[in-house]
Amino acid sequence: MRIKSQASNLREPDLSRRRFIIAGATLSGSFLVGLPLLGLADAEKASEGSSRIGYFINILENGDVIIGNHQPEIGQGLRTTLPMLVAEELDIEWERVRIESMPLGIVKTADGYTWKYGPQGVGGSTGLTNNWTHMREVGATGRLMLMQAAAQLWNVPLEQCTTRPGQVICEAAGKSASYGELVRLASALPLPESSPALKTMDDYRIVGKAHDNLEVRDIITGKTKFGSDIQMPGMRYAVILRSPVLNGTVAGFDDTATKAVKGVLDVFPIEGPAPGAPYFILAHGVAVVADSTWAAIQGRKALKVEWTQSPNREDSSEKFWKENLEMLSGKGQIVHDQGDFPTALAASSKVIRHTYEVPFVSHAPLEPQNCYAWVQKDKAHVIAPTQSPSGASRSANAVTGIERDNIEVEMSRSGGAFGRRLTTDYVAEACIISQKTGWPIQLVWTRDDDMRNDFYRPGGTHELVAGLDDQGKVTAWSQRLASGSKYYRRPDMPDEDLWKPELYPDDFPKAMVDNFRLEYFHNFIGLPRGSWRGPAHVVNAFVIQSFLDEIAHETGQDPLALRLELLDRVEQQPYSSHGGPVMTPGRLSRLLKFVAGRIDYGRKRPEGRGVGIATHFTFGGYAAHAIEVSVSSEGNLTIERIVAAIDCGFAVNPNAVEAQLQGGTIDGLSTALELEITVRDGQVVQKNFNNYPLMKIKSVPSLFETHVMNYDDTPTGVGEIPVPPAAPALTNAIFNTTGVRIRRLPIADQLRKKMRS
Amino acid sequence: MINFHVNGRAVQFDGDPDTRLLWALRDTLQLTGTKYGCGIGSCGSCTVHVNGKAKRSCITPVSSMAGKSVTTIEGLAGTDGKLHPVQQAWLEHDVPQCGYCQPGLIMTTVDFLQKHPEPTNEIINTNIDNLCRCGTYVRVRKAIHRAAELSAREK
Ligand code: FES
Ligand code: FES
């Protein structure tokens, strides 16, 4: 099945370009960030002077400081880490910090919409890096204005004023005043022309030190409101029965039994996109609106819907994997070709070739999608767990026709996201239902809705080929991939660009191997796809780090030595995709040597025990794992020990980095162990955690070390970086223990089957 | 009409008696600390206590609550705001990431520690099967041990 993309006015944030684009951003493309921001705030604030300095800082008389947070919190700890930056430069005690949520801020200009508070949205591990300078400048400017106010008040030169936490002091005049006393004066001052100089590393009191999550107390007492917890006066609950078959449409339905369910208030069809076309919402279906979640769910159970024949009704995983192999036997699109791969391969003393399969997987955040929306005549209010509040605003605008300045978008805390909440299909659905009924609506997705209506991480079949010289040195390398591209159904996406989110040419081993080729084949299976934490890096790291071990094994080399030899070939390489502009292989070597040392990689282990290592560069950050496993003669696998290390440049909040390193590692392992989305008769087979079994505490070893290793003074992202090396470290350990090479994920029962046969 | 107690308060439920306790708590009583994750009893995020024992409220009909006493995450800390030892341990180890699974995990752990006041890793592994998609398990394990310590001290 092959359907051309159709034009649409939906533009999702494009992670590979590492920016969040507001449709119709100013012509110059510049965003209002930093000081101009404060300027806007200046124009809005009360003339009397207020307790606010700009949008982000609110200093109370008692000395508490409320810091605004304008970014989504999806579990990555940004709502603690960003205030740390403001607090550091503003010079306040961390204990005085409280946070408040800011809504989406967009401003209509002659050129279209632009940001009010700076870009908002998280993806591609950019939540911290995009705000690193901006948030520190907000704090530093606030501090300067407080000092200016004090200088004026005491009639002393500004140069004689300085601060200690929460206070401006002037030793020469023997004066001091708290920020709370000065803020009204400060807030009325004209804005400084530019931000004052920022602190350097040696001066940090807050940044770089471990801080606990500011909201942990609310979370553990049940006070935190996630999206699904939003309850408003007059609110009704809605669920949708979506087409079980990919791209099916509603031919007709009988809602007699549904309407007989007590509490059901309304039933109507929801129109989805044409097959293969870009989408605001994912599927056609029938909405059931009720006065409680239970009634809505019961009403939906009673619905009888007749679905049309979908063009995808014969899609199946079996067919997908078979087609991939068929494609790989032919010629694909050469998307990168450096040196002379065919000649080098022909001239090599040894050729190694293996094929790997990596499945489709689901995001499965523990809080399913949901959205509160109230669409009135010419305004709308949306509260959603989202990574892309501007995407939510665009979706709401597209389906309701209401001007974006009249759509208020708030972000609730998200119960996980992992890339799923970059798309805002559920926002569009909630808006459609609210507009149709006129009621404030809480749209509820049940777990099976979530698992069967995802933008899955693309599955694919990879053929890796290496040519080696008589010394066992790699001289030629190619990766040939047949997959369902993430860019499938993107608006205005030419077929020849479909490979771009699947293969990253600047990745390892481009700079290390002269003759290097990448070849792509697209499989148009109807499963929707999207960005899953670390996107293609997770997939490619598994394939490449497994293949390196295979090369080492087949040429009698040590897997660690082979990797180091390759990584040591170049000092630094240009890196043009997200995470660049350069990649420093030595940073991978450092981590690899470190984790190998910690786990005593070279030590001979007793029968049934083994270790594996892997490393990968993702979106600017570096990570490595060493994993020790034991495998029983029956093929039962136990992860005995994990050593995980990350180099994220500079860890702003080492506590949050450690949490991501633990969670990211577990995500990588959990997915590799058991997780796969399959399709039969055009339908997603998995419906809930009983057949999509996430890892439980019993599989996580108590020997689990994390090492956060700084490199310089500039932070990189963190959330996605630890995921990619985890799975290949595990499968390399399995090989080291048993001689069984896992070339298909998930591992599932492969080991048991192989060991018993 | 079903009469029972929630967090010490007498409540009456007059809706569909088949309604799952989870939705009665969330929609009707507006106690949204108890979360929906799967609806089939497999993730544990909806865990509450019924007469002091952990129960997955997503598969528990409210009709079975007659005369019983339910505690949710909102009712776990003392009325003076003093955290339960399990919550205290969670705070000390800064366990949550997104936080969605945590109320259920905490309620599960409170019951677990009543049965296993001196848990080993082995006992934790065989008894705690809640799902945490963010993978906070490393800290969960540490916090469980810490909570056992704090609880022993309180006795
Ligand atoms: S929601 Fe009840 S166990 Fe998952
Ligand atoms: S903290 Fe996010 S699911 Fe557990």
**Domain boundary at B42, B74, B106, which?**
B74
For the entire predicted model, the pTM comes to 0.95
**How deeply is A461 buried, as exposed, middle or buried, from its count of CB atoms within 10 A (0-12, 13-18, 19+)?**
buried
Q: Of A558, A557, A623, A551, whose CA–CA distance to A594 is shortest? A: A623
Residues B18, A292 contacting (CB under 8 angstroms): no
Asked whether residue A7 is assigned to any structural domain, the reply reads no
Calculate mean pLDDT across residues A486-507.
95
Q: Is residue A725 part of a domain?
A: yes
Would you say residue B80 lies in a domain? no
Please indicate whether residue A416, judged by its CB atom, sits closer than 6 Å to ligand 2.
yes
Residues A312-334 have a mean pLDDT of 97
A423 and A472 fall within a common domain: no
Select from A394, A415, A444 the last residue of a domain: A444
Pairwise CB contact (< 8 Å): A698 & B39: no
Minimum-distance CB partner of B138 among A222, A690, A704: A704
What is the number of domains present in chain B?
Answer: 2
ipTM over 0.95: yes
Q: Does A57 or A30 have the greater pLDDT score?
A: A57
Q: Any CB–CB contact under 8 A between A415 and chain B? A: yes
Confidence at A39, pLDDT banded by 50, 70, 90: very low
Residue B36 lies inside a defined structural domain of this protein? yes
Tell me the pLDDT tens digit for each residue of A135-189: 999 999 999 999 999 999 999 999 999 999 999 999 999 999 999 999 999 988 8
Instruction: Give yes or no: residues B123 and B65 share one domain.
Output: no
- Residue B79: inside a domain, yes or no? no
Residue B21 Cβ inside 6 Å of ligand 1? The answer reads: no
The stretch A351-358 carries a mean pLDDT of: 98
Q: Which of A686, A683, A687 is nearest to A246 (CA)?
A: A683
Last-in-domain residue among B13, B42, B74: B74
- Domain that includes residue B97, residue range: 85-154
Per the document, the length of chain B is 155
Residue A308 is which amino acid? T
Contact A584, A571 (CB under 8 A): yes
Terminal-residue alpha carbon distance, chain B:
39
Contact A75 B98 (CB under 8 A): yes
CB of B103 within 6 A of ligand 1: the answer is no
- Distance (Å) of CA A745 to CA A120, A477, A480, A674: 35, 22, 18, 8
pLDDT at res. A112 = 82
d(CA B150, CA A245): 52
Task: Flag whether residue A691 sits within 8 Å of chain B, measured between CB atoms.
Answer: no
A256 and A172 co-located in one domain: no
The answer to the question of residue B125 being in a domain is yes
* Beta-carbon separation of B95 and A414 below 8 A: no
Residue A1 pLDDT exceeds 50: no
Beta strands of A130-275 (E only): which ranges?
Answer: 162-164, 167-170, 175-178, 236-242, 250-254, 264-270
Q: Are A575 and A582 in contact (CB under 8 A)?
A: yes
Mark whether A501 and A628 lie in a shared domain: yes
A261 lies in the same domain as A136: no
Query: Is residue A710 included in any domain, yes or no?
Result: yes
Q: Is residue B98 domain-shared with residue B149, that is, in the same domain?
A: yes
Q: What letter would DSSP give residue B61?
A: B
| Residue A434 CA from chain centroid, whole number | 29
Range of the domain at A247: 236-312
Is A12 within a domain? no
Residue A225 lies in a domain: no
Query: The tokens of A499 are what?
Result: 């490979």
CATH number at residue B136: 1.10.150.120
Rounded Cα–Cα distance for residues A328 and A461 (Å): 8
- Dist CA A595 CA A614 (whole Å): 9
Please check whether residues A417 and A503 belong to one and the same domain.
no
Residues B70 and B6 reside in one and the same domain: yes
Mean pLDDT of chain A: 92
d(CA A518, CA A355) in angstroms, rounded, equals 14
B124 touches chain A (CB under 8 A): yes
Question: Does residue A275 or residue A423 have the better pLDDT?
Answer: A423
- Do B66 and B90 fall within a single domain? no
Put simply, whether B96 touches A (Cβ < 8 Å) is yes
Asked if B66 and B108 sit in the same domain, the reply is no
Instruction: Residue B24: list chain A partners with CB under 8 A.
Output: 294
Q: Same domain, yes or no, for A671 and A626?
A: yes
Q: Are residues B49 and B13 in the same domain?
A: yes
Does A449 map to a domain? no
Between CA A512 and CA A476 the distance in angstroms is 10
Burial class (CB in 10 A: 0-12, 13-18, 19+), A200: exposed
Domain end (from B50, B74, B98): B74
List the single residue in A213, A415, A665 with the smallest CB-CB distance to B100.
Answer: A415
Shared domain for B99 and B143, answered yes or no, is yes
Q: Which atom of ligand 1 is nearest to the CA of B58?
A: 2
pLDDT at A49: 65
